[in-house]
Amino acid sequence: MTTTTTTRRKLYMELENCIGCRACLAACTQCGGHEQKNRNYVYDVNPLVNSQTMPLMCLHCVDPACARSCPAQAIQIHETGAVLSATVDKCIGCQNCTIACPYGIPKFDEEENLMYKCDLCIDRTKDDIPPMCASVCPSNTLQWLTEDEIADKKQATDVGNDKWVTSMPYLEGETHVTVNLPGVLQGTVKLF
Amino acid sequence: MQKDKFFRDIENVRHRNEELVKTHCSYCGMQCGMNLRVDKSTNKIIGVEPRYDWPVTLGKMCPKGVTAYQQTNHDDRILKPLIRDDASLKGTKEGFREASWDEAYDLIAKKFGELQEDYGKDSLSVFSGVSMTNEKCYLTGKFARVAMGTRYIDYNGRFCMSSAAGGFLRSFGVDRGSTLPWTDVHQTDCLFIAGSNTAECHPTSMFRVWAVQERGGYLIVADPRETPVARRADVHLDLRPGTDLALANGILNLLIQNGYADESFVNQHTNGFEETKELVKDFTPEYTSMITGVAVEKIERAAEIYGKAPNAIVMFARGVEQQHKGVDNVSAYTNMALVTGKIGRPKAGVATFTGQGNGQGGREHGQKSDLLPGYQKITNPEAVERVSKVWGIEPEEMPKPGVSAYEMFELMDNKTIRGLYLLCSNPAVSAPNLNFVRGALKKLDFMVCGDFFLSESAEYADVILPSVSWSEDEGTTTNLEGRIIKINKAQEPIGESKPDWLMQVELAERLGKGKHFSHLKTAKDVAEEFRLASKGGVADYYGATWDKIDEQDGVFWPCTDKEDKGTPHMFLDKQFYHPDGKAKICALPYRPPAEEPSEKYPLRLTTGRVVYHYLSGNQTRRIKFLNDMCPDPYVEVHPITAAEYDIEHDEVVLLYTLRGKANYKVKITEAIREDTVFVPYHFGDLESINLLTIAALDPISKMPEYKACAAQIDKIKVAGKVL
Ligand code: SF4
Ligand code: SF4
Ligand code: SF4
C-alpha cells in the first residue's frame, strides 16, 4: 500500500486542463444527498472560437459571502472548511445567497423553496475521500491534493505573474480551494 | 498491482445496506474501472462509485461512464420477446406484440429452416458487434457457423477497428491495438496523435496526455479540427480530411533526410526500408503541404520533435482508419516508429485508441467473416481442424469465409442473403450510405434482432429478443491496451431478458444442434471452451483464466499457459510476428479520398463523436443527463465559410451529398478548417449523418470512408422563416 498522508487534502483546480466533458457535473448528481442535481457548472470560455471550457464550482470561501448574507443562519461551515448547502428546516427561501456569492454558485430550487449549493461532497470529504467531481475528472482539472502537493504545484507553475491564484487579491477573498488559472505549463522546461 | 505516480490509496464510500460490485464501463475501449452500487434489499443497481484502485483509470470516468448504470433498470428496456406479424410495418416501431420465449424460438427455427430449405445454407446471416464480452463474441461466431451453418457472419468492427487490424497485421504480423500498457503513456517524451479526438472519445487518457507536457514532453496532434486535445498541442497539424497518407509519408521523408532513421534497428529487424525511402522522397515538405493543407513549418517541426524524442508513442484512431485507405494510413504512421526504432521497449511504440468496449477482443475470436477464435484464419486448414475439434464438428462442415459488413447489405439487397440475426449493433444508424442500407434491411424475408433497447435497426426486425445489459452478466473484455479484464454481474436480468450466449444455446437446440451447445450452462463454461478454442492462435487466451485476471488486474495477451503472466509490452525481444521475425516498413503511394470536392459539392464532410454519446446513441440518447447535454446533431462550420454561405449560428441548413441529405443546426467555430464541415454521427432516423456518407471501402479492411466525402450546404431560412 502507498503511504497515506495524515494531512487533509484540498480541492485544487488547473483550469487549462479542462476538456469540457462535464463528467464533474454527472458525478455531482451521484453524490449522496445531492438528489440528482448538479451543484457545479462548466462554461465555454470562447464560444464560437475554440473548445476551451472551465469548471465553475464553489471555492469554499474562508469568510463566505453566501453565509454572511443569510438572515436565517441556514448556511453552515463544516469543521473542514466546507461551506455547506442550506439546512432544510432553516432556509427561508429568500435567495440572498444566490446574489451575495461573487461567483453565482448557490442556486434556488423553486419547487422545494430551498437553496442548494456544492457541499464539497461532505459525506466523502469529511473522511478525506475525494469529492465525486475530482474523483472522476478525466483531465486532472480537478484534483484532491495535500497542502504539500499544492505547494509543489505552486512552485512548478508560479512564475510571478497573475496566473497562479490561491487567494487575495485575485479572488474576492481567501478560499479553501486553490485555483490555477490558464498557464499550467508556463513554468515548464522542455525536455529537449 | 501496478501503481504509478497517479495512484492514491483511497477507501471507497460504503453506504448502509449497499454492496459495491467492481466492474468496468459498458462503453468505450478505455474500459474504465468502476464499482456499481447495489441495494441489498432490492438487489438492484442504484448508482456508481469510483474504482480508485484500477491501475489504468484510477476512478476516473467520463460522463457516459458515470451514468452507465442508468441503462440497467431503464424504462425503455425490452422485457419480453417481441414478434411483429405485419411485415409491412418494417422500418417503424409499430406492430410488435409480446410473446413467450418458446413462441419466439419456434418462429425463428421455422423461418430459418424454411429459408435454408428453399435458398440454401448461406441465405442466412449474422451481423454482430463488439460491445459485448469475449465469451459472447466467441459464441456468436460458433453459433453462426455451427448452429446456423452459414458463411455469412461479420460485425461492426468493420466500421470501427478493422483498418487498425489490417495495418498492424501488415506492419507487425500481429494485431494488438497497443504495443505497450497505458501506464507508459504519461512517461514518454512525445505523443504523436493522429485522427483521435482523445478528449471526447477516450477522455480518461487525458490526464496522462497532459502529464507528458507537464514533464516537458511534446504533444503533436494531426486533426482537421482543433479538438480539445489539439488545442494544447505543441504542434497541431490541421490537415484536410482524408490526406493522412501524404502527411505520414512527408514526415517519414523528413525523418530519413534529417538522419533520424535508426539504421541498425532497420537492418536487423525490418524489411522494406529502401523501397519506402525511395517512395517518400517525393513527399517534400512543400508537396506534402500542398496535398494536406498543413503549413510547411508545422510539418518540419513535427518531424524534428518526433525525431529528437528519446521515447515517443505514435497513436491514432478512427480519423485515420475510417478512410478507404485506412490500412495504408495505419501502416504509414507505424512506419515512423519502425524507421526510427522507437518501438519494442517501454515508453515507445504504437497504439490505436480502440473504439468499442471490446473492439480488441471482439475482433479476435471469430466474428469476422474470415476468422476463427484466437485470430486464426478460416482459410488455414490446421486452424480449421483445431477449432472443429473443440466444436465437435468435422472440418469439412466448417463454412467458407463470408463477406464484410457493408458487403452483406449488398447481398441482402440482391436477395443472396434473405435472413438476418442482428445483435449488439445498430447498422441502421452506423453504416454508411444509409438510404441503401435501410432499404436492404427492409428487403429481408426474415430478421431477428437481439438488443436491450429498441434500436433503429430493431425496427426492421420480425422478432426481437430481449438481451441483458452489461451489468446483468459476467465475462471478459479486452481493453485498448490488449489487457483482458473481467466484467462482473451486479444484478439479475430484468424482466425475461437473457444474455445473448444463453439465447444462442437455446436456439441452437431448436435448430437441432444442441449437442454442440447444451453443455454451456454458464458464462464461465463458455469462457473455458473459448480459451481452448483460441489456443495456438496469435491471440492466444489459453492462460488468461478468470482467476488470473482478478489476481493481476488483467492479463495482456498473448498468454499461452498457466505460468505465463501475459505480455504487457510487445516486441521487447525485437521479434515481430512475420515468419522471418521482422517488421515491415511499407512503401505506400498516396491516393486522394474516393470523393474529392467538386463545383457542386465544394465542402469536405467529416464525421465523429461527441463526449456525451456512444456509437449510434441507442444507449446514450436514452440517458437523461447525456441527452440533455447533446440532444441533437449539428454541423460545425468555420465563420469564414458561414459568411460565404450567409448562414448564422443556430440557423437550420440543408446539408447534402450525392447520396443523401439532412437538416442540421449550424454551430459556428473557428476550431475547424474553412474547407471542412463536421457532423456527429450518434443520431437516428432523418438526423443520421450516415445518410450522406460514402461507402467507399478500403480494399483490405473493407472500412468505409466515413471521414471524407464531398458535400454542399443550402440555406433554407428566408426572412427569418424556415421554408
Ligand atoms: S470533469 Fe474535469 S475536464 Fe470534465 S468538464 Fe469537469 S473539470 Fe472539465
Ligand atoms: S464561492 Fe460562493 S457559494 Fe461558495 S462559499 Fe464562497 S460565497 Fe459561498
Ligand atoms: S465511455 Fe470510455 S472513457 Fe468514458 S467512462 Fe466509459 S470506458 Fe471510460
Tell me how many residue pairs between chain A and chain B have CB atoms under 8 A apart.
135
Q: Which atom of ligand 3 is nearest to the CA of B30?
A: 7
Q: Which residues contact A42 (CB under 8 A, 6 or more apart)?
A: A18, A20, A22, A24, A25, A53, A54, A55, A56
Query: What is the Cβ-side half-sphere exposure of residue A124, based on CA atoms within 13 angstroms?
Result: 28
For the four alpha carbons of B712, B718, B719 and B722, in that order, the dihedral sign comes to: negative
Give the C-alpha separation, A158 to A143, whole Å: 18
Question: If you measure CA to CA, which chain B residue comes closest to A137?
Answer: B60
B553: left (phi over 0), alpha (psi -120 to 50) or beta: left
| Whole-number pLDDT of residue A159 | 73
Is the CATH code 3.40.228.10 the one for domain B162-352?
yes
CATH class of B82-160+402-521: alpha beta
3-state secondary structure of B676: strand
**Domain-by-domain residue ranges, chain B?**
18-71, 82-160+402-521, 162-352, 603-722
Cα B501 from Cα B507, distance rounded (Å): 10
* Residue type at position A89: D
User: What ipTM goes with this model?
Assistant: 0.95
**Cβ of B11 and A129 within 8 Å?**
yes
pLDDT of residue A5: 43
Atom of ligand 3 nearest to the CA of B28: 2
Q: Which residues in chain B touch residue A183, judged by CB atoms under 8 angstroms apart?
A: none
Name the 3-class secondary structure at B347.
coil
How is residue B229 written as a grid cell?
Answer: 486535445
Look up cell 459539392; give the residue: B601
Cα-flanking dihedrals φ and ψ of residue A17, to 5°? -75, -15
Ligand nearest to the CA of B210: 1
State the average pLDDT over residues A152-163. Answer: 76
Distance from CA of B547 to the nearest CA of A (A): 22
> Using CB atoms, which residue from A20, A25, A30 is nearest to B47?
A30
Q: Which residues of B336-356 are buried (b: 16+ CB within 10 A; e: fewer)?
A: bbbbbbbbbbebbbbbbbbbb
* B342-374 per-position pLDDT tens digit: 999 999 999 999 999 999 999 999 999 999 999
Which residues in chain B are closer than 8 Å to A29, comparing Cβ atoms?
A: 625
Low-confidence ranges of chain B (pLDDT < 50): 1, 722-723
Whether B178 and B314 have beta carbons less than 8 Å apart is answered as no
Q: Is A101 touching ligand 2 by the criterion CB < 6 Å?
A: yes
**B18-71 to CATH, choices 3.30.200.210, 2.40.10.330, 2.40.50.100, 1.25.40.10:** 3.30.200.210
A13 lines ligand 1 (CB under 6 A): no
Query: What pLDDT score does B90 carry?
Result: 97
Query: How far apart are the C-alpha atoms of B614 and B455, rounded to whole Å?
Result: 13
The three state secondary structure string of B103-171 is HHHHHHHHHHHHHHHHHCHHHEEEEECCCCCHHHHHHHHHHHHHHHCCCCEEEHHHHCCHHHHHHHHHH
d(CA B336, CA B404): 30
Q: Average of pLDDT values for A141-146?
A: 95
B641 C-alpha to center of ligand 1: Å?
31
Q: At B646, list the grid cell.
A: 450567409
CB-defined site of ligand 3, < 6 Å: B 25, 27-28, 30-32, 61-62, 64-65, 202-204
CB B373 within 8 A of CB B387: yes
Q: Phi-psi category of B487—alpha, beta or left, where left has phi over 0 and alpha has psi -120 to 50?
A: beta
Q: Do B229 and A138 touch (CB under 8 A)?
A: no
Q: Please spell the DSSP secondary structure of B424-479, one letter per residue.
A: S--HHHHSSSHHHHHHHHHH-SEEEEEESS--TTGGG-SEEEEBPPGGGS-EEEE-
Residue A12 with chain B: CB contacts under 8 Å: none
> pLDDT band for position A2 (50/70/90)?
very low
CA B178: distance to chain centroid?
A: 14
- For ligand 2, the distance from its centroid to the CA atom of residue B439, given in whole angstroms, is 57
Residue whose grid cell is 466484467: B487
Q: What is the mean pLDDT of residues A161-180?
A: 70
Confidence band, pLDDT 50/70/90 cuts, at residue A4? very low
What pLDDT does residue B465 have?
98
Chain A residues with CB under 8 Å of B68 CB are none
Question: How far apart, in Å, do the first and last CA atoms of chain B sit?
Answer: 62
Atom 4, ligand 3: residue with shortest CA distance: B62
Taking the centre of ligand 2 as the mean of its atom positions, its distance from the CA of residue A117, in whole angstroms, is: 9
Q: Does B466 sit behind a cis peptide bond, omega within 30 degrees of 0 on the bond before it? A: no
- Do the chains contact at B3 and A2, CB–CB below 8 Å? yes
List the domains of chain A with CATH numbers: 9-180 (3.30.70.20)
Reduce the DSSP state of residue B237 to 3 states and report it: strand
Mean of per-residue pLDDT scores for chain A: 88
User: What's the CATH architecture for B603-722?
Assistant: Beta Barrel (2.40)
pLDDT digits (tens, 9 = 90+) for B466-511: 999 999 999 999 999 999 999 999 999 999 999 999 999 999 999 9
Interval between CA A24 and ligand 1 midpoint (Å)? 5
Which residues of B fall within a CB distance of 8 Å from A123? 13
CB of A20 closer than 6 angstroms to any ligand 1 atom: yes
